Chain A
Amino acid sequence: AQSVSQHNHHVILSEAASLELGCNYSYGGTVNLFWYVQYPGQHLQLLLKYFSGDPLVKGIKGFEAEFIKSKFSFNLRKPSVQWSDTAEYFCAVRGRFGAGTRLTVKP
C-alpha cells in the first residue's frame, strides 16, 4: 500500500543542536515531495518541496531536505535549531501526509 512514514513522533533538542527528521515513502514512479510545518496555534505552512533536479533542496528558515531515490527517503535537516523551531513537521507525498513529528526545542 502507498504510505508515508515519519519515524519519529516526538523529538526534543536543545538550542543549537542539529536536526534530522526522517521521511520514507512507498510510492513508485515519479513523486513530488513536501515538508510542511505547523507552529502552535497556526495553520500549515510549506517549508520546501522537491519536484526534480538537485536532490538537495533548500527551504525557508534554514531548512533543507535531501531526496535519496534509492532509499525512498526525503529527510529534513537543519544544522542548528532555535527555540522558535518548536512545531510539528509533516512530510507529504502526492497529497498524503505522514503522521507528523513534533519537535520541541529547549531554550
Chain B
Amino acid sequence: DAGVIQSPRHEVTEMGQEVTLRCKPISGHNSLFWYRQTMMRGLELLIYFNNNVPIDDSGMPEDRFSAKMPNASFSTLKIQPSEPRDSAVYFCASSERLAAKNQETQYFGPGTRLLVL
C-alpha cells in the first residue's frame, strides 16, 4: 500500500484565496483525521471522521474551515478565505478500527505545507 497520500505537498497562496487540501487514506481504514501543526500551537486535532461521518470537529478553528469525506477513499479540508495565520503543516492520518473500540493505530501522511501570504 502507498500509505496515506496528501496533495499538494506544498501550497503558497495569497490571503483571501480558497485553499483545498486533499487526502487519500489507506485502503480499508475507516477512520480519518485532519491535524494542523505550527510552531506556536504544536499539533492540533482539527476533525475526525469515522465511516465517512464527522464525529468530532471541535478542533476546527472557525467557520472558514470545512472538511468533507464524500467516500471512504477521499477527504478534503478547505479554508475559505485563507489568512496568514493559517500557515502551517496540515497532516491527514487514517486508522483501522480493530475489535475493541479504542484499538487502532494511526498512519500519517507526509503533510501539506501551507503558506498564506
Interface residues of A (CB under 8 A from B): 30-32, 34, 36, 43-46, 49, 51-52, 90, 92, 94-100
B102, A100: Cβ atoms under 8 Å?
no
Min distance, Cβ B10 to any Cβ of chain A, angstroms: 13
14 new A-B contacts, CB < 8 A, other than A44-B93, A98-B42, are A30-B101, A34-B105, A34-B106, A43-B109, A44-B91, A46-B106, A51-B102, A94-B102, A95-B33, A95-B56, A97-B35, A97-B42, A99-B42, A100-B42
**Residues of B contacting A52 in the complex (Cβ-Cβ under 8 angstroms):** 100, 103
The docked-state distance in angstroms from the alpha carbon of A49 to that of B104 is 9
> Closest residue to A51 on the B side, CB-wise?
B103
B12 at the interface (CB under 8 A from A): no
**Residues of B contacting A46 in the complex (Cβ-Cβ under 8 angstroms):** 105-107
B43 at the interface (CB under 8 A from A): yes
> Closest residue to A93 on the B side, CB-wise?
B102
Which residue from A31, A90, A97 sits with its C-beta under 8 Å from B102? A31
Min distance, Cβ A27 to any Cβ of chain B, angstroms: 10
A90, B43: Cβ atoms under 8 Å?
yes
**Residues of B contacting A92 in the complex (Cβ-Cβ under 8 angstroms):** 106
**Residues of A contacting B42 in the complex (Cβ-Cβ under 8 angstroms):** 97-100
Min distance, Cβ A2 to any Cβ of chain B, angstroms: 10
Minimum-distance CB pairs A-B, first 3: A99-B42, A32-B102, A44-B108
The docked-state distance in angstroms from the alpha carbon of A46 to that of B109 is 12
Which residue from B43, B109, B111 sits with its C-beta under 8 Å from A97? B43
A43, B91: Cβ atoms under 8 Å?
yes
Which residue from B33, B35, B100 sits with its C-beta under 8 Å from A51? B100
> Closest residue to B56 on the A side, CB-wise?
A95
